[in-house]
Amino acid sequence: MGNGVDSLVYYNEYNSTLETFSLKYIVDIDGTICYTINSNYEESRPYKDRILRLNGLFDEGHEVHYYTARGSQSGKDWQEFTKAQLDDWGVKYTSVRVGKEHYDKWIDDKAINDKEFFKD
């Protein structure tokens, strides 16, 4: 780093790293991008501001994977319905998956609470 050439190369490498840097987001559906009472998914109402925010991340090149526990207790397959519902709401996604375990609390060092993530 003693001369200008090395500094320039370093700068360009750093810059290109920033340009290609993308994150992989795993996003819940019910209660996170829509309002759902009990398991009445047909009546779910989208949180449009939250969807726009996540669509923005997708447009910036990040992966946005939607992952839901829909059907994990009832055994009903909600995969196609959920995908069509997200399409109808204008949700941009890398993938839509059912099969998440039903749970009451999720403890994870990388998790962000929805209220925290969408607060501004």
Q: Which residue is nearest to Mg ion (CB)?
A: 31
Amino acid at 92: K
In angstroms, what is the minimal distance from the CB of 69 to Mg ion? Answer: 7
Contacting positions for Mg ion (CB under 5 A): 28, 30-31
Residue whose CB is less far from Mg ion, 30 or 41: 30
* DSSP labels, 104-116: S----TT---HHH
Give least dist CB 67 to Mg ion, A.
Answer: 10
Cα separation, 65 vs 1, whole angstroms:
40
67 and 100 in contact (C-beta within 8 Å)?
yes
Q: Which C-beta is closer to Mg ion: that of 28 or that of 63? A: 28
Q: Give residue 84's identity as a one-letter amino acid code.
A: A
Report the nearest approach of Mg ion to the CB of residue 96 (Å).
14
